[in-house]
Structure 1
Amino acid sequence: MKPEYVFDRDREWAALERFATSLGDEMRLAVVSGRRRQGKTFLLQALADTLNGFYFVAVESTSPDALRQFGTAVASYLGVEGTLAFGSWDEAITYLLDHCPDRLIVIDEFPYLVKADPVIPSILQREIDARGVGTRGVHRGSGSRVRLVLAGSAMSVMGKLLAGQAPLRGRASLDLVVQPFDYRMARQFWGMSDPRLALQVNAIVGGTPAYRTRFVDHEAPGDDLDDWVIRRVLSPETPLFREARYLLSNEMEIRDEALYHAVLGAIAAGNNTRGGIAGHMERKSTDIAHPLAVLEDCQLIRKEIDPIRKRSVYRVAEPLVTFYEAVMRPAWSQLERGWGDRVWQGSRARFASQVVGPHFEHVCRQFARGREWGGEFASEVAAGVAPGSGRGQNIEVDVIVLAPQDGNHKRRLLSAGEAKWSGIMTLGHLRRLEQARDQLHVRGLDTRDTVLALYSGAGFDPALTEAAARDPHILLVDLPALYG
């Protein structure tokens, strides 16, 4: 049973508990990954404590030093006096598995061990195969019931453990990614009643649990967001100040941090296509192909597909990085001098347009993804462009909600939506959506029951409210509804 001190994570805990307590006389492997600060260590320590398992967290070190630390941890767990002096990782791993034949074993920050000694995954492959069940169900080992969990935050490394020709490919029974809290759960975690404040804070720090605790000294913003941002985010003495930089430096495959920050800065400034990013950086598109791939592997950016034009667009996946690139990085020297109040006052418009506005659109897409539309859930939700024809102009649509493809029938457009963080929405916004719907109909979508959704952080004028009251195909979503 999940301990009461573990907030949420019900799905993750259930998956880990099923794995750790599963029946069967063979060794099994789980891989748990997720970016730093998401609570993986907290979750896995709680699991190990609950099931009396072995837990070891690796640190960046040489192979001999890591082996000594591992020997000390194994000795402590098994009640052996002093330390265990292993001569190799082969000896150490075999010893642990032999002496814990029915235990949960958790090795956290596993990429550090791989960096220290790349042969470790191959040793584990051999042991899993030797203590497992063959392809025909014939037991090949000694009845081991070891449940081994390998965890890590270096996403580019963890993503390759089970890929391609990697030694552990095909050996895992569980591949779990611990994600940040979504915007609703983050609001609960921060204990905020005001949805407007909650969304602005979410646009800065996202759903990363650690940013609510020691990173801000357990202080949530009160009525004055400005004061909290200046003291807790823009002050050089606080942990959040350099955190966005550390997110890059912690990834092992990133060498030229300046190049990667330039890519992130271009995306944060609104350049979402590969050509747009390259143009902003004054580089060729081919020059940024590798940085884009690495940042995507690290889950610092995400690639989305415009469902209408089938073109790729890139967005920063970590809100703190967007905030850093849009607000902090351009004024870094001023911030280091302690001029956070000046920087914040001068960047409020940029904060609204480059940070909160795009984040609000993303949250609206999350809302649409989890909502029923006429009794049906969406199979695809994304931003896209309704292409004009003849004298018609292209119309950007912030939230396109599509039903699954049903054979040879036209694909149904469940909803087309526009999201505006600032400014009262009017009938003009509704007319624009109607035009976009009509253009998407011409493009071959079934729009007979399409809901026109208007998402606003500032509200709706009376004429639009009256129109929505008369027409069930018009949906108005304000901040309370978004969080409802």
Structure 2
Amino acid sequence: MDKPPEMFDRDFEWSELTRFATLPGPRATLGVVSGRRRQGKTFLLDAVTRASGGFMFTATETTEADALRQFGAALAGYREQPTPFRFTHWDEAVTQLMRVADRGRPTVAVIDEFPFLAKASPALPSIIQRALDPAAQHINTPVRLLLCGSALSLMGGLLAGNAPLRGRAGLELVVPTLDFRLAAEFWEITDPRTALLTHAIVGGTPAYRREFTQDDIPQGPDDFDAWVARAVLNPARPLFREARYLLAEEPELHDTALYHAVLAAIAAGNAARGGIADYLGRKSTDLAHPLTVLQDVGLITYEADAFRRNRSAYRIAEPLIVFYHAIMRPAWGDLERPGRAPAVWRRAQPAFRSKVVGPHFEQVCREWARWHAAPDTHGGQVSRVASGTVNDPASRTSHEVDVAVRGESWNGSEALLAIGEAKWNEVMGMGHLERLQHIRALLTARGTATDATRLQCYSGAGFTDELRHLAYGDPTVQLIDARRLYHGD
């Protein structure tokens, strides 16, 4: 099956879906497709269904009886039956679904928004499991059943532990957000600084260009501020309230006020549980559940410190939520009044640089170091990239390391390959390099680093001539600017 020309990237996802759709053999098989909202999962599955002549049903949030009625009507339409199927239970519906490949060739059957059905009918996964059992396969046809949904905790639980469908799936596909390079290509932004600023707001979610901004993209550095005012901070545009809706759409988040407060604390720069608790005026133990739930639904991540095992950092996974809490939420009353966006945006510039772009630039630098940099850049094969904190007992302080690269050196040993500092809006010079040299000396004294550990300066504003001259003759010093992040290795 040829990938539709209007589908951007998704080559891996398309090849896996088409492989699954055309699996030979007479038995019915199961696949699970998940991913955060607005990533194009439905678009992918609809394209596969159309290309293969399969059946697709998109569930809605409703009762079991109404869902069965909708499903029976859709299945009868696909089977060209004159009247809808009238199912009284999902046992009957699933049995009939398993017979749609009655022409003897593999046929795709997609149930999109599966969590809606599972919520109204908790026994449905067990019913599907029973239909896939070897004892029932003699009455099945070669259906390639795909269950899809955005509720990550429920979709992940379908195949986990003692879940009924564990061990039944021949495909478990997660559709990710576009990384920062693909996002720039998708948005057709060629200027690296404009691409990163845009990514710091909308991330790599494809729908935010198409459905939410109607292809309104920043035309360059001079248009970026105007684009933010007209496309993001404009109360008449869908993107304006999207961050709020993202939480409202998650079925696991019952107390949205609490979860918004936790996200606001993280967006304000509180990465540790203790700092989040202090920001909210709560006990640290009270946050175990909300933090776990936010992780389960994919809205925050949990990253261990590169140098201290007992320390870790929480980060928000969706840039639009960071932007909302740092910029929009404090000025929500003004932003709801038409025409106030340009003034609010001018006042928000310091917060945008410190709370949004700065941390986002550091994260992009870590992603580049992990997935895009060539092994020669680090002096070995990378296995992990994280941020970390290094204690300095002599000065009774600690030093933050934005990028710590661990991996396998050329001699085959595990090593700290590189440490780096990231500054978005600051020209980096010898002072920044000397700071990294001091941190490397501290780590070398502990046996964590060596003289071969490389020093990396990441800057969105450039480097002094003195630093460039030194780096030109020293391979252990690496300078990475925005253009290299987007176009080099």
Scaled to the shorter chain, the TM-score interval is: over 0.9
Shift of 1:324: 0.4
1:136 aligns to what? none
Correspondence 1:193 to 2:190: yes
Work out the CA distance in 2 between the residues paired with 1:239 and 1:419: 33
Work out the CA distance in 2 between the residues paired with 1:225 and 1:5: 26
Work out the CA distance in 1 between the residues paired with 2:316 and 2:270: 11
Shift of 1:86: 1.3
Shift of 1:174: 1.5
1:125 and 1:168 in contact (8 A); partners too: yes
Correspondence 1:317 to 2:339: no
Shift of 1:176: 1.1
Correspondence 1:106 to 2:110: yes
The residue correspondences of 1:55-70 to structure 2 (distance < 5 A) are 55-70=56-71
Shift of 1:406: 11
Correspondence 1:411 to 2:414: yes
1:117 aligns to what? 121
2:380 and 2:408 in contact (8 A); partners too: no
Where 1:378 maps in the other structure, the secondary structure is strand
Shift of 1:260: 0.2
Shift of 1:391: 3.4
Work out the CA distance in 2 between the residues paired with 1:340 and 1:358: 24
Work out the CA distance in 2 between the residues paired with 1:291 and 1:44: 32
Q: 2:383 aligns with which of 361, 370, 379?
A: 379
Correspondence 1:288 to 2:291: no
Deviations, residues 337-388 of structure 1 (Å, cap 9, x unaligned)? 2322222111111001100111100000011002233363210000011222
Where 2:386 maps in the other structure, the secondary structure is strand
Work out the CA distance in 2 between the residues paired with 1:120 and 1:287: 34
1:131 and 1:143 in contact (8 A); partners too: no
Shift of 1:98: 2.0
Shift of 1:405: 9.6
Where 1:215 maps in the other structure, the secondary structure is coil
1:385 and 1:396 in contact (8 A); partners too: yes
2:99 and 2:143 in contact (8 A); partners too: no
The residue correspondences of 1:130-169 to structure 2 (distance < 5 A) are 130=134, 141-142=138-139, 144-169=141-166
Work out the CA distance in 1 between the residues paired with 2:133 and 2:326: 50
Q: Do the aligned partners of residues 149 and 131 (structure 1) sit closer, same or farther apart at CA in structure 2, a change above 3 Å counting?
A: farther
Work out the CA distance in 2 between the residues paired with 1:278 and 1:317: 20
Q: Percent identity?
A: 53
2:381 and 2:409 in contact (8 A); partners too: no
Q: Do the aligned partners of residues 376 and 29 (structure 1) sit closer, same or farther apart at CA in structure 2, a change above 3 Å counting?
A: farther
Q: Do the aligned partners of residues 82 and 405 (structure 1) sit closer, same or farther apart at CA in structure 2, a change above 3 Å counting?
A: farther
Work out the CA distance in 2 between the residues paired with 1:341 and 1:403: 46
Where 1:208 maps in the other structure, the secondary structure is coil
Work out the CA distance in 2 between the residues paired with 1:287 and 1:180: 31
Answer with 271-280 or 333-342: which moved more.
333-342
1:58 and 1:110 in contact (8 A); partners too: yes
Shift of 1:146: 1.6
1:155 and 1:251 in contact (8 A); partners too: no
2:395 aligns to what? 391
1:57 and 1:107 in contact (8 A); partners too: yes
Where 2:133 maps in the other structure, the secondary structure is helix
Work out the CA distance in 1 between the residues paired with 2:195 and 2:135: 50
2:329 aligns to what? 329
Q: Do the aligned partners of residues 143 and 69 (structure 1) sit closer, same or farther apart at CA in structure 2, a change above 3 Å counting?
A: closer
Which of structure 1's runs of 4+ aligned residues deviate more than 4 A? Answer: 404-407
Work out the CA distance in 2 between the residues paired with 1:19 and 1:99: 17
Work out the CA distance in 2 between the residues paired with 1:227 and 1:428: 35
1:137 aligns to what? none
Where 2:257 maps in the other structure, the secondary structure is helix
Work out the CA distance in 2 between the residues paired with 1:127 and 1:157: 20
Correspondence 1:400 to 2:404: yes
Shift of 1:243: 0.5
Which amino acid letter does the alignment assign opposite residue 175 of structure 1? Answer: E
Shift of 1:295: 0.6
Shift of 1:440: 1.7
Shift of 1:163: 1.6
Which amino acid letter does the alignment assign opposite residue 201 of structure 2? Answer: I
Unaligned runs of 5+ in 1: 133-139
For these two proteins, the number of residue pairs brought into alignment is: 476
Q: Do the aligned partners of residues 85 and 369 (structure 1) sit closer, same or farther apart at CA in structure 2, a change above 3 Å counting?
A: same
Work out the CA distance in 2 between the residues paired with 1:323 and 1:258: 17
Answer with 445-454 or 243-252: which moved more.
445-454
2:38 and 2:206 in contact (8 A); partners too: yes
Which amino acid letter does the alignment assign opposite residue 361 of structure 1? Answer: E
Answer with 445-454 or 263-272: which moved more.
445-454
Which amino acid letter does the alignment assign opposite residue 374 of structure 2? Answer: E
Work out the CA distance in 1 between the residues paired with 2:362 and 2:132: 45
Which amino acid letter does the alignment assign opposite residue 168 of structure 1? Answer: L
Work out the CA distance in 2 between the residues paired with 1:243 and 1:483: 27
Work out the CA distance in 1 between the residues paired with 2:169 and 2:388: 37
1:31 aligns to what? 32
1:442 aligns to what? 445
1:82 aligns to what? 83
1:262 aligns to what? 261
Work out the CA distance in 2 between the residues paired with 1:446 and 1:455: 20
2:151 and 2:250 in contact (8 A); partners too: yes
1:26 and 1:131 in contact (8 A); partners too: no
Q: 2:201 aligns with which of 194, 199, 204?
A: 204
1:163 and 1:169 in contact (8 A); partners too: yes
Shift of 1:143: 6.3
1:387 and 1:440 in contact (8 A); partners too: no
Answer with 366-375 or 208-217: which moved more.
366-375
Q: Do the aligned partners of residues 372 and 261 (structure 1) sit closer, same or farther apart at CA in structure 2, a change above 3 Å counting?
A: same
Work out the CA distance in 2 between the residues paired with 1:143 and 1:67: 20
Work out the CA distance in 2 between the residues paired with 1:439 and 1:395: 10
Shift of 1:51: 1.1
Shift of 1:100: 2.6
The residue correspondences of 1:194-273 to structure 2 (distance < 5 A) are 194-222=191-219, 223-273=222-272
Shift of 1:393: 3.3
Shift of 1:404: 4.5
Work out the CA distance in 2 between the residues paired with 1:153 and 1:118: 17
1:72 aligns to what? 73
